[in-house]
Amino acid sequence: MKIDRSRSTARIEADVELLGTAPYTDSATAICRYAYTPTYARTLAFFEERLGELGFTVELDPVGNLLARNRPPGEPVFGIGSHCDSNRNGGKYDGTLGVVTALEICRLNAELGLDLPLQVISFLEEEGSGFGQVLLGSRIMAGTIGAEELAAVTALDDGRSWFDHAREAGRDPDHWRDCGRALADLSGWIEVHIEQGRVLQDTGKRIGIVSAIAGYAHGDITFAGRADHAGATPMDFRADALAAAAEVVLAVERLAAAAGSGTVGTVGELEVDPGLINVVPGRARASLDVRGVDDSLVRRVVDGAVEVARDAGARRGVEVTCAERTSISATPMDATILAALRRAAEETGEPFTDLPSGAAHDTMSVAVHRPTAMVFVPCLDGISHSPAERSDPADAALAAELTLSAIAELVALR
Ligand SMILES: [Zn+2]
């Protein structure tokens, strides 16, 4: 399938630039667009109007996810979209580019006379900027958040409940369980998103086909030794908590590198007590962040780090405590959709590669129920969640072309 890429590039660029300025952001220096604000409502209205012009029926579901479809409920549709809420100090592309590209796919669908059955979704509160809950709209849709958990969700700014805010915005949050209907008719789902890493840019690729979304394990290892005088305590009399923690920091680096398959491990927080120049550290805490597309490799790194910690503690007379915070399994993408995307990418003649997503996306929620995939476009120096975020609209136009081709093939197959 061939599209007029320069025309699509111009339209995508115009939409992204328009939504990157007032009144579509609450900040003069960044994109600040949080769930249920007037700014957010205006942004949804922008998409509602344009999709309506293309013959789509547009609605907000009970919690405020935007749904637009060109077939009546009950008929199968192929899902495309992303989110248009922003990070607290966001850029123009994270999320929004995916919804803008979905809109462009709908325009092309009409102009090329394809009449493919489509449903656009813009998920509510992906970033967690309003209520501190990432993937909130899509988790509600997927039914992966419970009533109790939802009842406890409050706004970061005023502490009032999510239910109150949703009601004030004209939504009907008591019927949140009905949101799952939007997924029921999806024959498949593709989300276009910026990469948020440097792999595509640094390898000269214009498209990334996401093989899987990484899972992660978050935890803490605490070391309790003895705080002694740094001058009066000989080396073999010490129980240095930080020295034990240091062994773990290096072990995590070594274990993650050895695990392969894109597994990564990071100690990003290190707390030392009392943290004084002349005192042997009595207590230390190291955080653990391990991610990867293969859950067994993630587990191997975590188990290895714990083993190193216990061994270091035993040798050094330091007591070791390990606690897991949260862990989420990796989400594999659908093999049939991936194959269609790779064929479509081949056809464009442009450089592309398979890669895992290290970041979480709404697609993880859709994947609980439906076959899914993601397409990444490069972003400058891997920067995201920042006003410095940049992405080339020409790459998004290319993503629109190959996503449309893949959907055409998948719909014909069915
Ligand atoms: Zn995003």
Q: What is the DSSP string of 31-52?
A: B---TTSHHHHHHHHHHHHHHH
List, as ranges, residues with CB under 5 A of the ion ligand 1.
Answer: 94-95
Tell me how far the alpha carbon of residue 263 lies from the centroid of ligand 1, in angstroms. Answer: 21
CA nearest neighbour of 64 among 123, 151, 130: 123
At 145-185, the pLDDT tens digits run 999 999 999 999 999 999 999 999 999 999 999 999 999 99
Q: What does pTM read for this prediction?
A: 0.89
Please, are residues 87 and 125 in contact by the beta-carbon 8 Å criterion?
A: no
Same fold, 5-213+331-413 and 215-328: no
Cα(361)–Cα(395) distance, rounded to whole angstroms?
20
Domain ranges of the chain: 5-213+331-413, 215-328
Cα(133)–Cα(126) distance, rounded to whole angstroms?
8
Strands (DSSP E) contained in 227-386 are: 264-266, 270-273, 283-292, 319-328, 331-332, 352-357, 372-377
At 238-280, the pLDDT tens digits run 999 999 999 999 999 999 999 998 899 999 999 999 999 999 9
Tell me how far the alpha carbon of residue 169 lies from the centroid of ligand 1, in angstroms. Answer: 23
At 345-393, the pLDDT tens digits run 999 999 999 999 999 999 999 999 999 999 999 999 999 999 999 999 9
Cα–Cα separations (whole angstroms), residue 147 to 150, 163, 173, 175: 5, 11, 11, 11
At 282-330, the pLDDT tens digits run 999 999 999 999 999 999 999 999 999 999 999 999 999 999 988 889 9
Q: Compute CA 102 distance to the chain's CA centroid, rounded to the nearest angstrom.
A: 17
What is the per-residue pLDDT for 1? 84
Tell me how far the alpha carbon of residue 86 lies from the centroid of ligand 1, in angstroms. Answer: 8
Tell me how far the alpha carbon of residue 340 lies from the centroid of ligand 1, in angstroms. Answer: 23
**The two structure tokens encoding residue 341:** 């995307």
Pairing of strands 118-123, 331-332: unpaired
**The two structure tokens encoding residue 358:** 């290290």
Q: What are the residues facing 265 on neighbouring strands?
A: 290
Class of domain 5-213+331-413 (CATH, top level): alpha beta
Tell me how far the alpha carbon of residue 24 lies from the centroid of ligand 1, in angstroms. Answer: 17
Domain 215-328 has CATH 3.40.50.2000: no
At 50-93, the pLDDT tens digits run 999 999 999 999 999 999 999 999 999 999 999 999 999 999 99
What is the per-residue pLDDT for 326? 83
